[in-house]
Amino acid sequence: MVPASARPTGPSAQELFEEVERRPEAQPCQFEEMKDVAQKEEGVWRQWFCSDWAELVVWWHAEDHRRIIGFQLCYSGRALTWTADKGYSHHVVDDGEDGFKGSPVLVAGARFDAAAVARSFERSSVSLDRALAGFIHQTLAACRL
């Protein structure tokens, strides 16, 4: 069971997609790469991108920047993670405010709307490298959680 503090309070993935569809400019805010991202793990090169509806972290093999180790897409109080060795996981972000101040943590149990998230990602990914965007879009669309 998902604790009350971990239940998403923001819009659903479908609501996010519908909001993007209603925009007069017909284009969501594109992902922008964050600069000077801390590289914390040996053997892993990390990129971080932000848009108006999501944040994307991509982990690459440090010696081969063409080989993706995994990625995490955070949106609306949820996080979808895919890694080459473990596959998919989807979580709700527990803000740590349940009774006392704690650190935010990921809690299992969130429903994942693969089609809506993949559509929103595709519309926001024009600014990303074409191969990276295609890989992440296909991986999102194929997710069956």
Tens of pLDDT, residues 1-47: 334 444 444 555 555 555 555 554 445 578 999 999 999 889 999 99
From the CB of residue 19, how many other CB atoms can be counted at a distance below 10 Å?
14
Q: Distance between CA 89 and CA 30 in Å, rounded?
A: 25
Work out how many domains the chain is built from and give that number.
1
- Name the residue range of residue 135's domain: 4-142
> Is residue 90 within 8 Å of residue 78, measured between CB atoms?
yes
Residues near 103 by beta carbon (within 8 Å), at least 6 away in sequence:
96
Q: Determine which of 4-13, 26-35, 61-70, 92-101 has the lowest per-residue pLDDT on average.
A: 4-13
Is 117 strand, coil or helix? Answer: helix
Q: pLDDT at residue 87 above 90?
A: yes
Task: Specify the residue for token string 């993935």.
Answer: 13
The first and second tokens of residue 142, run together, are: 């194929």
